[in-house]
Structure 1
Amino acid sequence: MKVLIGSPGSASGLTLRITQCAFAASSIALMVSASDFSSYTAFCGAREILDTSDLQYLELDKLALDLIVAALIFTIPHLWEWGKLVSYLIASMGLQLLWSFGLACLDIYALRRKRDLQNPVLVSLFVVGDWVTAMLSLAAACSSAGVIVLYARDLDFCNPRIPCRQYEISIIFAFITWLLIAMSSHVMFWILASF
């Protein structure tokens, strides 16, 4: 079987997983280091942010505002709560970080023991895990990008209290993480198809 770049148990696969971990951790670190991030990041405190006083110039009545808030809150997968809500982007990047770190450890084990990780059962597990985390990462990055565009351009919320630039860089790192996981999921799919 031909070894593809980024295949499990190879040095290129290990490099791909480590860069996924690095960009996911960077995205989390930038988002968490922002002042009062849990109040202003994607879908945290949506009721406080989307209030009638903020959207008066759009001439929305109370029912339309409630529909917008309900659509934001209930169409997005619900968030975990530890005292305050944690944003969907951080939850998704945290899952991506754990998944990539676990597979990087497996790659290190395979490289040190000279084991072959390319069997149908393992590769099918890698395909499913990569595709699921890729979809979650893309959804989180896109929804967070939509929220930051709403804040920065439409509602003009960016000020010294809300560090939009820091959020934007975190979202860029999330998109890079998604690109890297999409590459590895593509490689895993072709390895699975070659069995």
Structure 2
Amino acid sequence: MRQMFGGPGKISGLVLRIFRCIFAAVSVSISFSAPGLTEVTPFRVLLIQQCVETTWSFVLVCCDLKVVVFQGNLPSHFHVMVTLVIDWVVLTLSLGAISSAVAVIQLIATNSICYKEHEYICRRYMLSVGMDFIAMVFHAISALVLSWIVASSILPRAV
């Protein structure tokens, strides 16, 4: 398996997954503390997705910690493929949930609902979606690096 920036077993990969987990956890905590979040379906979907993202990121952080800190074995090609598939599924769910939540925030902000009495709540929604978007960017980088590693190990090299 090819070694590259952000890949499994590298310190850069561990840092990437730690940031991804932190931003997802911050997004979940902001979402849970915002009153009335579960009344709007896109925010409910976003909250479920944030919990999945945080859990999956934490699992990957633990796997990378095992390899980097405790000098464990690098994951096999099969484990990298499974991680890649799950990463892309979670990333796709994340993109869909964030897109629908942004659409609702845009609707609420355009209709001046946020500026009357609920400005604080709307800002929390916006901050939660922003944190989840940052987590999604780290997730996308991680998924693209894994895709590149898998593609480089499958495709034959030119002589």
TM-score with structure 2 setting the length: 0.87
Contact 1:117–1:123, Cα closer than 8 Å, also in 2: no
Q: Which residue of 98, 112, 132 maps to 1:156?
A: 112
Q: Deviations over 1:116-169 (max 9, x none)?
A: 42531011011101101111111111110001111111x322243461111111
* Cross-structure match for 1:169: 127
Q: Which residue of 94, 97, 108 maps to 1:137?
A: 94
5+ residue gaps, structure 1: 45-86
* Cross-structure match for 1:27: 27
Contact 2:6–2:142, Cα closer than 8 Å, also in 1: yes
Q: Which residue of 178, 185, 194 maps to 2:136?
A: 178
Question: Which entry has the higher C-alpha Rg, 1 or 2?
Answer: 1
CA RMSD of aligned residues (A): 1.7
Q: Provide the rounded CA distance (Å) in 2 between the counterparts of 1:112 and 1:26.
A: 25
Q: Which residue of 131, 134, 151 maps to 1:193?
A: 151
* Cross-structure match for 2:84: 127
* Cross-structure match for 1:106: 63
Q: Provide the rounded CA distance (Å) in 1 between the counterparts of 2:13 and 2:135.
A: 15
1:37 aligns with 2:67: no
1:34 aligned partner, one-letter code:
A
Mapping 1:20-99, distance limit 5 Å: 20-39=20-39, 41-43=40-42, 87-99=44-56
More helix as a share of residues: 2
Q: Provide the rounded CA distance (Å) in 2 between the counterparts of 1:190 and 1:119.
A: 15
Q: Provide the rounded CA distance (Å) in 1 between the counterparts of 2:70 and 2:105.
A: 46
1:147 aligns with 2:147: no
Contact 2:2–2:152, Cα closer than 8 Å, also in 1: no
The structural deviation recorded for 1:184 is 0.2
**SS class of match (2:21):** helix
Q: Provide the rounded CA distance (Å) in 1 between the counterparts of 2:92 and 2:100.
A: 12
1:13 aligned partner, one-letter code:
G
**SS class of match (1:113):** coil
TM-score with structure 1 setting the length: 0.72
5+ residue gaps, structure 2: 154-159
Instruction: Work out the number of aligned pairs and report it.
Output: 151
